[in-house]
Amino acid sequence: MPYKNPEDQKINVRNWQRKNKKRVNAKSLKWKNKNRKHIAIYDKIRNTRFPEILKAHNEARKIIIPKESICEICGCPDRLEKHHSDYSKPLEVKFLCKDCHMRLHKSKEFENGR
Ligand SMILES: [Zn+2]
Ligand SMILES: [Zn+2]
């Protein structure tokens, strides 16, 4: 069924995912198991090609996203992730929601590979 409002669709998908968390998780786990080799190879290539990215991500693990944070792009408080705008500064992260984060990386993909 088509949705008039794309926001409605987003909420709907989110609700579905919330209700079917187990199913979604099982599915992605299955996919991961099946593609483990490929993922490992991909990780290896990425980590050797972009060691500064790996380092930045490891460093950023220490950073805890404060409870009251919101996405720096859209202001949404849900599903926040850490984003590095400069991997040479591993402790300088932006908090972005999953949607904005993904969108940002899609538009930047060809620049830095991640
Ligand atoms: Zn956002
Ligand atoms: Zn990022």
Tokens of 80: 């926040």
Q: What pLDDT does residue 114 have?
A: 44
Per-residue pLDDT tens for 46-99? Answer: 666 678 888 899 999 999 999 999 999 999 999 999 999 898 899 999 999 999
Is the pLDDT confidence value at 112 over 70? no
Cα-to-centroid distance, 81 and ligand 1 (Å) = 10
Q: How far apart are CA 96 and CA 91, in angstroms?
A: 15
Query: Which residues are within 5 Å of ligand 2 (an ion), measured at CB?
Result: 83
**Ligand sitting nearest the alpha carbon of 78:** 1
Q: What pLDDT does residue 96 have?
A: 97
Cα-to-centroid distance, 86 and ligand 1 (Å) = 19
Q: What pLDDT does residue 83 have?
A: 95
Is the pLDDT confidence value at 108 over 80? no
**Ligand sitting nearest the alpha carbon of 73:** 1
Per-residue pLDDT tens for 4-57? Answer: 777 888 888 888 888 888 887 888 888 888 888 887 877 777 666 678 888 899
Cα-to-centroid distance, 1 and ligand 2 (Å) = 33
| Domain boundaries, given as residue ranges, for the chain | 52-112
Q: How far apart are CA 51 and CA 55, in angstroms?
A: 6
Long-range residue pairs from 41-45, CB within 8 A, at least 24 positions apart, any chain: none
